[in-house]
């Protein structure tokens, strides 16, 4: 990591590396995630369906599939975890473009995967993600929540029209912020809007193949996709070596750098 990246990470809770994957790599990854979307949609017919605040979730083994919010939508919105659904997505766990910065951020010579997911924000249908932190989701599941950095791999050009990723710069320095108290089932997982400064919002309008690294305490979210362009992305979260993954309980080591 460069001194500029370290400064941005410490002060703002993120840094970006643009166009790290070329067109051929992106084409293969897009093909992979579309195959996954078809596969999990079919497998969901035999999964365990449940509803939270009117939103449809299906557990297929240790994989959770979220569907778009307008019932009875059959459009897949999120798949978590996803690396074990396709060899190319599993290979990303070991990609040095991702793991080298992760080793630096975590401060350990080796790392393992904590969680990963696929976000499919379809044209004119993909809903947004409310402002939230990841740390409150995870603080009761591990004792090293401060060592769980995320990276988003953008599979399409991201811009305001298709609901690009957004963060509140510097919000990570406040630690775990309070959730909303609106009486809904999921309300507590969204950050109370009075707890952060919306004027510090940063929208990542970046080309496909970019990497956005962000802190688990950084408040983030996105708007709906109001365009005719998809906004697909993968998010991988790492942790120090030897710890199990969040949902499966398996240990997925990242192979050492050569």
In a domain, 247, yes or no: no
Give tens-digit pLDDT for 147-175.
999 999 999 999 999 999 999 999 999 99
In a domain, 250, yes or no: no
In a domain, 77, yes or no: yes
Instruction: Provide CB contacts within 8 A for 59, sequence distance 6+.
Output: 47, 48, 50, 65
Task: Name residue 66's beta-bridge partners.
Answer: 57, 78
In a domain, 134, yes or no: yes
For residue 63, the enclosing domain spans 3-240
Task: Answer yes or no: is pLDDT of 241 > 80.
Answer: yes
Give tens-digit pLDDT for 76-126.
999 999 999 999 999 999 999 999 999 999 999 999 999 999 999 999 999
In a domain, 122, yes or no: yes
* Residue 204, both tokens: 């990542």
Give tens-digit pLDDT for 244-254.
999 999 999 99
Dihedrals phi, psi of 6, to nearest 5 degrees = -60, -40
Domain harbouring 18, CATH code: 2.60.120.620
| H helix or E strand, kind and range, residue 167 | strand 165-168
8 A C-beta contact, residue 14 and residue 8: yes
- Please tell me the predicted confidence (pLDDT) of residue 255: 83
Give tens-digit pLDDT for 53-86.
989 999 999 999 999 987 778 999 999 999 999 9
In a domain, 254, yes or no: no
In the structure, what pLDDT confidence band is assigned to residue 187 with cuts at 50, 70 and 90?
confident
Q: How many Å apart are CA 156 and CA 132, to the nearest integer? A: 23
8 A C-beta contact, residue 105 and residue 90: no
Q: What is the mean pLDDT of residues 27-49?
A: 97
Quote the number of domains for the chain: 1
In a domain, 249, yes or no: no
Pairing of strands 211-214, 220-222: unpaired
Taking Cα atoms as reference points, which of 162, 134, 120 lies closest to residue 33? 120
In a domain, 252, yes or no: no
> If you average pLDDT over every residue of the chain, what do you get?
95
């Amino acid at each position: 990591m460069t001194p500029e990246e370290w400064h941005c990470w410490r002060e703002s809770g993120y840094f970006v590396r643009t166009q790290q994957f070329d067109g051929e790599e992106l084409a293969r990854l897009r093909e992979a995630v579309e195959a996954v979307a078809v596969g999990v949609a079919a497998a969901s017919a035999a999964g365990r369906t449940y509803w939270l605040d009117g939103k449809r979730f299906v557990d297929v083994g240790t994989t959770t599939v979220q569907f778009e919010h307008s019932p009875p939508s059959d459009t897949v919105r999120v798949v978590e975890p996803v690396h074990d659904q396709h060899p190319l997505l599993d290979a990303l766990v070991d990609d040095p473009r991702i793991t080298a910065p992760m080793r630096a951020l975590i401060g350990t010579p080796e790392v393992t995967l904590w969680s990963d997911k696929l976000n499919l924000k379809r044209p004119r249908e993909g809903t947004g993600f409310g402002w939230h932190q990841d740390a409150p989701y995870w603080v009761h599941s591990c004792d090293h929540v401060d060592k769980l950095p995320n990276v988003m791999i953008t599979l399409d050009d991201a811009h305001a029209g298709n609901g690009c990723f957004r963060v509140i710069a510097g919000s990570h320095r406040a630690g775990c912020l309070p959730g909303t108290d609106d009486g809904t089932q999921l309300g507590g997982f969204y950050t109370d809007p009075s707890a952060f400064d919306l004027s510090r919002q940063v929208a990542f309008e970046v080309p496909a193949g970019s990497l956005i690294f962000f802190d688990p305490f950084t408040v983030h979210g996105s708007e709906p996709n109001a365009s005719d362009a998809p906004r697909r992305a993968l998010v991988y979260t790492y942790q120090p070596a030897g710890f199990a993954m969040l949902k499966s309980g398996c240990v997925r080591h990242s192979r050492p750098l050569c």
